[in-house]
Structure 1
Amino acid sequence: MYCMAFHCPKEIQVTWTVLENSGKRVTVEDHGAPSNEESEQLLSDYEVRTGQSQRDGLYNAVSSLTFTPTGSRNRNMTITCSFLCDGKTRKKSVKWSLDSDSCPQLDDIIVPCLVHGREAKLQCEIRRYFPNNLEVKWLRRDADRPDLYELSSDDKYKILEMDVTQDPDKTYSCTASLIVSISAKTDQGSEFICRVKHPTLSTYVERCTGELKVAGIPVIQSNVQDDNIIVLEVDRLYTEDLVLTWEEANNEHGPYKMIKDKNITTTRTENSDGSFKIISKCDVSYVLLEIKDRYFKATVEHSALKSPEEIIFYNKGCFEKLFKKEKLSLERVPKTITKSNNDLKSVDGSVNPV
């Protein structure tokens, strides 16, 4: 803010007085220090600069008061500039308030399709703020946990530098961006928050993504085909790090040994959404003539699973099968679902079969 005085017979002394919204009064002399010996904080909040010139024996002065608005403190202020010259004082007072239209306006965070093993960019547009003095933080809340923690750039996160533009109405706009390396293990159900502070605000404002849903968590199904072929389907895959093994044993708890590759066939099918499905078939007809119980175990390992998935089938041997040469009667061993993988959901919200 500026105030001017002209044609004074002697040098001019300038004093600025600020009556803040809280009722607190601050007086600043033209040498820049608060006259009532306020704290150093006030010295940095308000600064006065005065220049004087002389012409034809008369003095002219131009004085400025500079400060950074800080929310409710600087709303509805009264600012007074006083000129003292030759024992006479002239004052000029104005009402000043922050314009609520200059507060930052946040759009909802744009969340793209989140796929395990890929990067995703989260974006929050911030508009119509003034002055250009914005503080932006990205925070995270893990699934089923209430605590927030601030993020910084590292191997998993990249916080991009904001490109600020000034609009025709002199307000500013920018886009806050966070790049995340998506992992189904750690990001499923988590939330990200964009938090903004600005001098026009008495507290921060923020936007939240809501609970994230991550694609690329394997959906596992199994069945028996032609009475002697175990079929395992692993669908919704986006990454190539699937490990699938077939083993057999004489009892449910092993020890298990690997089934020969000649008994296993594997095919791959591409899906329209960019994912793919693996179908693995294990032919166990070679145990038709055995009289012992036989257990067959398929183990699925993938980076999106919190722990490997095991599926066990068994054939209960008997003499009748030996002499009559009946077909295998394969049944699936019941399994208690572990909480870790039961919590993992596919992108459409269904629980992964086990």
Structure 2
Amino acid sequence: MDKQESREFSVKDFPWPPQIEDIEVVKSPSSSTVKLTCKIHSFFPDLLTVKWIEKKTDGQEVDVINNNKYVISNTSSKADGKHTLSCNVSLSFEKSHDSEDKVEYVCRVEHPCLKSPIQSRTGLLQLEDLHSFIVHNIQGPQTWVVGEKVTLYCAASNCKKDVSVLWILKEGDGTPQEVSELPPEKHETIPPAEYTAVRDKTEKSDIEELLNITSSLSFVPSITKHRNLTLSCKLSSEGKTKEKSFQLKHLHVKPKASDPIKLALLDSGEVAGTFNILEFYPKDIQIIWTGGVNSASELRSTEQITEHGYTHDVHSECRIDGLLFKNPDYTVKVSWKHESMDSWESRQISVRDKDYPWRPEIQNIPVPGIISNRPTRLECKISNFFPDNVTAKWLRKEKDSKELFPLNHGEKYKVPVLKPEKQSENTFTCTASLNFTPSLETDQGADFICVVEHPSLGSAVEKKTGALQVTDFPWRPRIEEIITPHIVIGRKVTIKCKISNCLPGVVTVYWLAKEKVSGRLIPLSNSETYITSQITWKRENQNSFYGTSRLTFTSSLQTADIFEFICRVEHAGCHPIEKGTGPINVTRKSVIKRRWDMAQKIRTVPFIAGYLSLDVPYFNVELDSL
């Protein structure tokens, strides 16, 4: 700012001007005393000036003072429960035979908050008939909030017992609604209607045999029905009717803001924060963005308001320097205030919040084949994070130990510097690496751990290799020759393959079938047809083990289409090793049917190559084909 700016206020700017009610006129039934009472409320400070004025039929106004004819009460204010003040002022006089038949009295009020005096008038009084009932102004909230129940009260004094009350509403579309009071005995039994009117209070009046009553009307405001509402309360008794109107000052719809702040990355390196506030009325709304750690500073923002029927939506957006999010305590906050709200509401977000969208995605560490005395590289990929201040460190845990040792860049372990790279969606990615040369003696069973930290993570994230399996070549697996059994269709067959000179856990064994015609290799897994056994490893010497893999199946016609079975062994650090059965020979069974009386001869036949079927009883004999 080039120069100072300022604001000022005085008591004239206070929002607590006095409110004045209708004058209540009461004549004592036992005497000719007339008492006028006027209630003044909701004012502050206590600087009220009240004057009573007698207005003649010719328009002449005469100030009323305390004398033999008039008695004016003292103005004594008291708190009304809203931190403002209220008081009752009265004027009493005796009606004499020479009093004018028609006269009007005015109660005029002055206060520093008022630009001009306010007043309440009795109208022309018929002093001969002061026992007529008095209807007071309708009381209730001047501001309504859509969806929140509203109750209005209309009180009347000096009523007969037969007084009836009718509430009249004219909704926004001009449709009139007349609501009568529910009978007292049906208050609890009749289900709530759109509008409910009840006799809220009945008390004895100061005048004998008369009553003071209060009627209430309750309903829930709607923006469509009550935006231009006119409302009145009509009371009738002994052929007389009096009516009071109510003027609504404000109808509000509270804004809805259930979603969190949305963040988006821009090519400039800035972060765009957006926030939507929906379905509020009237249109005016205050929105402030702030950002900071301990003390917040205001951020520039832009708002776009759209209209939907009678309500409005607002889309607010601000931009924040992306580097500020490197501090985990930096918080962005949006606050809003609407006429319908008692106080400001807000939402906020920081990199630690669950709604922050750019937490690092940390992949598991792929473990390559670890070969003793050969250089090895472990990698942990970190992606989709913002800002770019991610850190990673490596730890090592010995076999059968719980103690962790940090690995620093040195002769044995090489830890390259992290280099985050910006991606097309403006987030970052990098790879944490560890280079070293393992040995069978020191690294067998060791566990390497990558610990990743970022402002958006509540705590560090760890990824582990698990216990390393280090192999020491030239110890390569050996496969012995496979002995192929005689295969007969319909019989169960087991093919065995012995494997030695290897370490359990780093050897993978599986079986293949090679087709005769196509030469295609078909992997065989456990199924209804083929079963591969779990290998039981036994120690061969100090550094190696041996075991036997089995393939079991029942031969069928399809088996004849297979050229050979192959056992393949894969071991970390070397090419797969295979051993095949060689071409397999599949033979069939012959079924012989003969007469029962030729059984003994069949035993002596050396070779039967035919199939006979006779229309005589028979039995079956199964023989292997030769």
Structure with higher helix content: 1
Using CA pairs under 8 Å that are at least 6 residues apart, name the structure with larger relative contact order, 1 or 2.
1
TM value normalised by structure 1: 0.48
Q: TM-score, normalised by structure 2?
A: 0.30
Larger Rg: 2
